[in-house]
Amino acid sequence: MIDLRESAQNALKACGVEDAALTGGLTVRTPLTGVELLSVRETADVDAAVTAAHAAYQQWRTVPAPVRGALVKRLGQLIDEHKDDLATLVTLEAGKIRSEALGEVQEMIDICDFAVGLSRQLYGRTMPSERPGHRLMETWHPLGVVGVISAFNFPVAVWSWNTAVALVCGDAVVWKPSEKTPLTALACSALLDRAIAEASAPADLHRVVIGGREVGEALVDSPLVPLVSATGSTRMGREVGPRVAARFGRTLLELGGNNAAVVTPSADLDLATRAIVFAAAGTAGQRCTTLRRLIVHSSVADTLVEKLVTAYRKLPIGSPLEAGTLVGPLIDAAAWGHMTDALDAARRDGGEVLVGGGRREVDGDGYYAEPAVVRMPAQTDIVRTETFAPILYVLTYETLDEAIALHNDVPQGLSSGIFTRDQQEAERFLAADGSDCGIVNVNIGTSGAEIGGAFGGEKETGGGRESGSDAWRAYMRRATNTVNASGQLLLAQDVSFL
């Protein structure tokens, strides 16, 4: 029997976390058994951390971007070297199975690679000036301190998407991890501190601030934080957005998802079943991209549901430390409470729980839920609500228009998919009058996006985009430049003056 505390301590030590950080008032429990792992020191003075990071930014912004890229390259190497340690901490703190924990760390390595390339590609445009002898162009400059607020379910990847990109953009970062996952944050931060020291970059370029709501609020309200990138619930985003906007700061919000897949009559049902089970039951339903709604053509609904129920019955639920486990624990008792409440509400609305919904006794006080499939007569309020647990609601449709209308009739707009072998149907789903989400897939589930694309969604998901593509622009400020080399003063729009 592995001693969980010792395993966490070893991984933290290997990553270079000092003992002093591991004595304090914030208790960290593992969802595997509910026992206390360690306790960590909370940050007393967030403003001091922000001020220090701001001073570091003032130096860092003048370092050439490709040189900044070299720091991120080293960070990626260190993460790769410590892939096992970081994955162990992700499993212990967030409850992920080994392959998903390793996958999360792989996202960190991938985004570092991406950001290194990006460090030579922070392109501005040049535009033809309407005046002779004039040049019109734009330059992208570093922005300042980026406040990163992250959630328990992707405790390290989401930080790395923000931080790798922010660092090459010339920004500093102050990170507030979830109170549920501070250990992984300390490990990442220690690795980055090492890369910073080796690169002789400013020591305060990255700071972790640990604690509860007050810590987040101090970051959100700081005038020295021009961008707050926050991942979490829509409720949290509803508070953060207006507060940052009130001081004319920017936000990048990654909030709730209520992701659906449409399954059409031409779909490969075996492929769809595998994709659906991973998307709906993987990570115990605790991804913001988790598949929560299935909209199935009535002609294939019974067949698909039968395949799903068979697959769900065989799902290995248990300790993520055991090889073969596919579904680990929910993060805590509250999450289990939300799951049972949602199932009760679904039953009241006429839903039928076809499989799952119970709790498995696995180890101590861990909350191991059986992923559930619930057939619903209609898209009722509970189906339109994001419950962060493995519940898949099944609805049926007759026409694709009806399926798309149902699909879009929820407040959230993160990720979506269609399973079809009919090109017209696929194209319709991808079109302007198709899915209204930020991520729209064909013949693949809603979760497990690659880092190369921009990640984020519409409506109550918050509208932010992070990770790949041109998401970097949110981390910089744009200056439009007009340079007059004509030797004469020519006013635009042919204006005459003086």
Residues marked as catalytic: 254
Using DSSP's 3-state secondary structure scheme, residue 263 falls into strand
Q: Which helix (H) or strand (E) holds 408?
A: helix 400-408
CA distance 60 to 55: 9
Taking alpha carbons only, the member of 314, 320, 313, 307 closest to residue 274 is 307
Give the total of residues touching ligand UN1 (CB under 6 A).
Answer: 11
Binding-site member from 231, 234, 412, 435 for ligand UN1 (CB under 6 A): 231
Shorter beta-carbon distance to ligand UN1: residue 153 or 162: 153
Q: Which helix (H) or strand (E) holds 337?
A: helix 333-348
Considering only residues 419 to 458 of the shown chain, the ones binding ligand UN1 according to CB under 6 A are 447-449
> Binding to ligand UN1 by residue 287, rule CB under 6 A?
yes
Length of the chain equals: 498
Distances (CA, A) of 76 to 257, 303, 416, 437, 465: 29, 45, 30, 31, 22
Minimum Å distance from CB 412 to ligand UN1?
13
Interface region with ligand UN1, contact rule CB under 6 A, candidates 18-26, 152-160, 216-224, 325-333: 152-160
Binding-site member from 148, 158, 201, 339 for ligand UN1 (CB under 6 A): 158
Minimum Å distance from CB 292 to ligand UN1?
12
- What ranges in 18-64 are assigned the alpha helix state H? 46-60
CA distance 183 to 178: 10
> Binding to ligand UN1 by residue 94, rule CB under 6 A?
no
Residues 359 and 134 sit within 8 Å (Cβ to Cβ): no
Minimum Å distance from CB 132 to ligand UN1?
50
> Binding to ligand UN1 by residue 164, rule CB under 6 A?
no
> Binding to ligand UN1 by residue 387, rule CB under 6 A?
no
> Binding to ligand UN1 by residue 382, rule CB under 6 A?
no
Minimum Å distance from CB 165 to ligand UN1?
15
Considering only residues 113 to 132 of the shown chain, the ones binding ligand UN1 according to CB under 6 A are none
Using DSSP's 3-state secondary structure scheme, residue 210 falls into coil
Shorter beta-carbon distance to ligand UN1: residue 91 or 289: 289
Name every residue whose Cβ is closer than 8 Å to that of residue 280 and which is 6 or more positions away in sequence: 290, 291, 292, 294, 371, 373, 390, 392, 445
Minimum Å distance from CB 287 to ligand UN1?
4
Binding-site member from 60, 154, 312, 367 for ligand UN1 (CB under 6 A): 154
Where on the chain is the footprint of ligand UN1 (CB under 6 A)?
107, 153-154, 158, 231, 287-289, 447-449
